[in-house]
Amino acid sequence: MKKYTNTGSKDTRSGFGDGLTELGKTNPNVVALCADLTGSLKMDDFKNNHPERFFQIGIAEANMIGIAAGMTIGGKIPFTGTFANFSTGRVYDQIRQSVAYSDKNVKICASHAGITLGEDGATHQILEDIGLMKMLPGMTVINTCDYNQTKAATLAIAAHHGPVYLRFGRPKVANFTPENQKFEIGKAVQLTEGTDVTIIATGHLVWEALQAAETLEAAGISAEVINIHTIKPLDEEAILNSVAKTGCVVTAEEHNFLGGLGESVARTLALHQPTPQEFVATNDTFGESGTPAQLMEKYGLNAAAIVKASQKVIARK
Amino acid sequence: MSDNKSLENLVTQVRRDILRMVHKVNSGHPGGSLGCAEFLVTLYNDIMKLNDGFDMDGKNEDVFFLSNGHISPVIYSVLARRGYFPVEELNTFRLLDSRLQGHPTTHEGLPGIRIASGSLGQGMSVAIGTALTKKLNGDDHLVYSLHGDGELQEGQVWEAAMYAAGNNVDNYIATIDYNQKQIDGATDDVLPLGSLTAKFEAFGWDVLEITDGNNIQAIKDGMAEAKARTGKGKPVCVLLHTEMGNGVDFMMHTHAWHGKAPNDEQLESALAQNPETLGDY
């Protein structure tokens, strides 16, 4: 089985910030908007290098989304930045009417997604945002797994016309995908080859899935790990090809099982190839305060949970 | 520049369009549409600098956003009569497969519309965004928007108002359709707006009033003054006093026609008060 090395833990939000810095140099139409969280979103470089293209909106997320929609008229490519909770649930109707329905080229970039925001607790965490965003017609939904991939995705969405939700996180996590990788929206990345179980993971759970695959290998179980960075549009072909080999699936995400990646995969399987599936996700609950590692453990979002789910789903074949 | 007589003729025809559109499908919002007919006719045919044809980016021309999207009949009629799309298409208002949706959208590609509106309170933010882009592009044309007065009860409007003044968005004129009525009754009864002049001024806007917002000359004068106040560091707010249902006697002085269509008899009476000027669609 192919092994992956952590080249040095970094936060995915820094991948976004560094991607934005690069876009500032290469694409004069890129503008950035922030709702009083410039440092948290790692947008300081862009702000300092291009003050005329950086818009501090204040604590007014609804206004930020509306301004971003309006800025596309005349050719700008707005990147909005705030926490995932305030990027989605707080401004759902603004995104729905002014961005998605109006087909505006706005990039909604959301940090501190999921439960790993940690100590701030459930008011600032969000485990429903993938569902909220994927239900909007025309919205592309991306959840990247590490620093390198987040940076690549940030560059890729600027070149893609249409509304995008880009979801990333706060804590430092393993950085293991290639530097300067080509990011293809809607294209799954197969990380390991396997024959017994397919593990489809997104975001911070991809590294956990790789750790789980190593544990499973030691136990004589061959796991195929697929990194689904784009939840919508979903790479159905990659999923079906893998499942044709393995005959069972574990999906893993830092999100509620309702409305998340797992449900999108389940629909694909139900339509084309009914297959046993287990869900590593939160179980219709809010989060709480704690360290990211404690929360991942308590809410069953780590390698151990993926190993357990894999064993369970294999037994159901 | 257009003379008042030809604008008045256009207003009369726009009123007929509004009435016939909502009557045909027995739905839509004639009251606010009629109240803003003089304003939008004058805006599109005398005040705004517009290019020929429609381009979504609206570069090097003035851009207008309708935030109170429910008065779609009037904007559809004004756009069609300005040549953005065939006037015959007004016949499809609110019908299945039409580009003239109940509330304006970009989704069906109707020329003249740049953003969906209907869910209230969002248009000022959008207009500010386009005004910022115009500044970035070195485009010295203006952005205009229209809002219902009841719509100001939405909090997002005040987020936007605070931003525009705080960031010197002075290439922007927001007009408030100040008819003091909303679906459930008088704004004073539903949720009092207080002094809008004082509110906008406190937010840092330059505010002026057009006390007869159904008079073409008053609109011309007021908007000329509004334009003269742009470029001076402040966004400009126009309080446009209008009469909901203007031009149809039984639709005036009441909020009853906010979202109700006339029946056959009422249509006949309303049209008789507004004889055909430029040809019905």
- A178 lies in some domain: no
CATH number for domain B4-272, candidates 3.40.50.620, 3.30.1330.60, 3.40.50.300, 3.40.50.970: 3.40.50.970
- A5 lies in some domain: no
What pLDDT does B220 receive?
98
State whether A199 and A51 are in the same domain. Answer: no
Q: How many CA atoms lie within 13 A of A122 on its CB side?
A: 9
CATH number (domain holding residue A268): 3.40.50.920
A76 inside 8 A of chain B by CB? yes
Average pLDDT over every residue of A114-118? 95
Contact residues, chain B, for A104 at CB < 8 Å: 115
With bands split at pLDDT 50, 70 and 90, how would you rate the model's confidence at B90? very high
CATH number (domain holding residue A22): 3.40.50.970
B262 inside 8 A of chain A by CB? no
Domains of chain B, by residue range, sit at: 4-272
Per-residue pLDDT of A49-88, as tens digits, reads: 999 999 999 999 999 999 999 999 999 999 999 999 999 9
State whether A133 and A229 are in the same domain. Answer: no
What pLDDT does B271 receive?
98
Burial of A179 (0-12, 13-18, 19+ CB in 10 A): exposed
Per-residue pLDDT of A270-280, as tens digits, reads: 999 999 999 99
Q: b/e map of A115-135 (b: 16 or more CB within 10 Å)?
A: bbbbeeeeebbbbbbbbbbbe
Nearest CA in chain A to B59: A74
Closest-CA distance of chain B to residue A286, Å: 27
- A182 lies in some domain: no
CB contact under 8 A, A53 and B122: no
Average pLDDT over every residue of B165-185? 97
What pLDDT does B2 receive?
87
Domain range for residue A123? 10-173
Closest-CA distance of chain A to residue B126, Å: 4
Chain B contact probe: residue of A73, A76, A92, A161 with most B CBs at under 10 A: A73
Q: Is the pLDDT of residue A180 over 70?
A: yes
A71 inside 8 A of chain B by CB? yes
State whether A164 and A194 are in the same domain. Answer: no
CB contact under 8 A, B163 and A63: yes
Chain B contact probe: residue of A91, A97, A106 with most B CBs at under 10 A: A97
What pLDDT does A282 receive?
98
- A121 lies in some domain: yes
What pLDDT does A131 receive?
98
Tally the domains of chain A: 2
Residues of chain B with pLDDT > 90, as a percent, come to 99
Which residues partner with A166 through β-bridges?
A109, A142
Distance between CA atoms of residues B146 and B237, nearest Å? 10
Averaged confidence pLDDT in chain B: 97
Average pLDDT over every residue of A151-178? 98
State whether A266 and A292 are in the same domain. Answer: yes
Distance between CA atoms of residues B143 and B128, nearest Å? 8
State whether A162 and A209 are in the same domain. Answer: no
Residues of chain A with pLDDT > 70, as a percent, come to 100
Contact residues, chain A, for B162 at CB < 8 Å: 58, 60
Contact residues, chain B, for A69 at CB < 8 Å: 115, 125-126, 129
CB contact under 8 A, A67 and B126: yes
- A237 lies in some domain: yes
CB contact under 8 A, B117 and A97: yes
State whether A146 and A195 are in the same domain. Answer: no
Q: Where are the beta strands (DSSP E) in A84-144?
A: 107-111, 140-143
Per-residue pLDDT of B227-243, as tens digits, reads: 999 999 999 999 999 99
With bands split at pLDDT 50, 70 and 90, how would you rate the model's confidence at B1? low
Average pLDDT over every residue of B248-254? 96
Distance between CA atoms of residues B229 and B235, nearest Å? 9
Nearest CA in chain B to A59: B159
Q: What are the angstrom distances between the C-alpha of A178 and each of A14, A145, A167, A224, B112? A: 16, 12, 19, 19, 46
- A184 lies in some domain: no
Residue among A58, A72, A101 minimizing CB distance to B107? A101
Widest pairwise Cα distance in chain B: 53
State whether A128 and A20 are in the same domain. Answer: yes
State whether A115 and A53 are in the same domain. Answer: yes
What pTM did the predictor assign?
Answer: 0.97
State whether A161 and A281 are in the same domain. Answer: no
State whether A109 and A169 are in the same domain. Answer: yes
Nearest CA in chain A to B104: A102
State whether A139 and A232 are in the same domain. Answer: no
Nearest CA in chain B to A138: B107
Q: Is A61 part of the annotated catalytic residue set?
A: yes
State whether A132 and A237 are in the same domain. Answer: no
- Choose the weakest-confidence range: A110-114, A165-169, B1-5, B115-119: B1-5
With bands split at pLDDT 50, 70 and 90, how would you rate the model's confidence at B89? very high
